[in-house]
Amino acid sequence: MADSDLVLLECHDHVARLVINRAAARNALSFPTLLRMRALLAELRLDTNIWVIVITGAGEQAFCAGADLKERRTMTEPQVVDFVRNIRGLMDDVANLPQPTIAAMNGHAFGGGCELALACDLRILDIQAQIGLTETSLAIIPGAGGTIRLPRLVGAAKAKELILLARRLDAEEALRIGLIHRISPAGFFAGVVDEMVKALLRNGPLALQAAKAAIDGGLDLPSEAALAHEAACYARILSTTDRLEALAAFAEKRLPKFKGH
């Protein structure tokens, strides 16, 4: 398979869909797959015509199985260090995208696959799939942000339980503890994803980006500094035509037509 086929990109109606295209390998992240995905994300973050980004996997068995362990066995120690640096970089690339992101987990998400989902803003899991940071069962630890992002979602105590025991959660438990946002019933996965995408697109795209920046940027700041950061994010959208369009649409009792500027 050509490197360009390892991750597929489809852009339509302000939505970019990234598909990890290694179904036979359970969409594991090989080194070429990492590099291909990082290159595509670098393009998308600068594309003002893209308002929502969906990340998913090919096939129905796995969203992403994490690092390609068959490839890992052939690597030297310096190559492993470079791989870990790039897989951590991939998760940071996803987390730092200005656009809202959806992890559309059509199958199992273990290890690096779970970390990829954690780097997204919203997470949907098929009801038949499981999710978890299972690295300790392989005598390693989550090395791509999992030990940082998971506690911030579910709390340190629960994160320790999940990571130290290498637990695999079903969709209902993952929803109950706040690890995911939606469960898709069997056979309705595409529709559930589309429903969330459409809900995002009903809102002002620049406002979505500003809200995301306000939340992410203020999370680790003291209250006063976080409030100042929020104010700065709010100021970014005051002069936008979308804000004026929303006010006009409200007055005229119609749906707004946002343009992203």
Per-residue pLDDT of 157-189, as tens digits, reads 999 999 999 999 999 999 999 999 999 998 899
Within 10 angstroms of residue 228's Cβ, the number of other Cβ atoms is 13
pLDDT tens by residue, 103-134: 999 999 999 999 999 999 999 999 999 999 99
Take residue 258 and report the two structure tokens written for it.
Answer: 């946002």
Provide the CATH topology of domain 205-252: Lyase 2-enoyl-coa Hydratase; Chain  A, domain 2 (1.10.12)
- In the structure, what pLDDT confidence band is assigned to residue 60 with cuts at 50, 70 and 90? confident
| Phi (first) and psi of residue 92, to 5 degrees | -65, -40
Rounded alpha-carbon distances, angstroms, from residue 64 to 24, 88, 198? 11, 15, 24
Q: How confident is the model at residue 137 (pLDDT cuts 50, 70, 90)?
A: very high
Q: What percent of the chain clears pLDDT 90, i.e. is strictly above it?
A: 89
Mean pLDDT of the chain: 95
Domain 3-201: top CATH class: alpha beta
The predicted pLDDT at position 69 comes to 83
Strand ranges of the sheet holding 108-110, from the earlier edge strand across to the other edge: 62-64, 108-110, 130-132, 169-170
Report the residue count for the chain: 261
The predicted model scores a pTM of 0.95
pLDDT digits (tens, 9 = 90+) for 190-223: 999 999 999 999 999 999 999 999 999 999 999 9
Domain edges within the chain: 3-201, 205-252
Q: How crowded is residue 258: how many other Cβ atoms within 10 Å of its Cβ?
A: 23
CB under 8 Å to 7, separation ≥6 — which residues?
Answer: 18, 19, 20, 21, 33, 36, 37, 40
- Catalytic positions are 67, 112, 115, 135
pLDDT value of residue 27: 96
Residue 4 pLDDT level (bands cut at 50, 70, 90) = confident
- The whole-number pLDDT of residue 248 equals 94
**Residue-level pLDDT at 44:** 97
List the single range of 25-29, 93-97, 120-124 with lowest mean pLDDT. Answer: 25-29
pLDDT score of 77:
87
Predicted local distance difference test score (pLDDT) of residue 256? 94
**Confidence at 72, pLDDT banded by 50, 70, 90:** confident
Nearest CA-CA partner of 3 in 28, 37, 54: 37
Q: Where are the alpha helices (DSSP H) in the chain?
A: 31-44, 69-72, 77-95, 112-119, 146-154, 156-164, 171-176, 189-201, 205-218, 223-237, 241-252
* 17, pLDDT greater than 90: yes
pLDDT of residue 108: 95
Q: What pLDDT is recorded for position 163?
A: 98
Residue 20: in which H helix or E strand, if any?
Answer: strand 15-20
Tell me, letter by letter, the H, E, C secondary structure of 182-222.
EEECCCCHHHHHHHHHHHHHCCCHHHHHHHHHHHHHHCCCC
- The set of residues, in sequence order, having a beta carbon less than 8 Å from that of 259 and lying 6+ positions away, is 241, 242, 245
Q: Please state, for a pLDDT cut of 70, what percent of the chain lies above it.
A: 100
Query: pLDDT digit string (tens) for 212-221?
Result: 999 999 999 9
205-252 shares the fold of 3-201: no
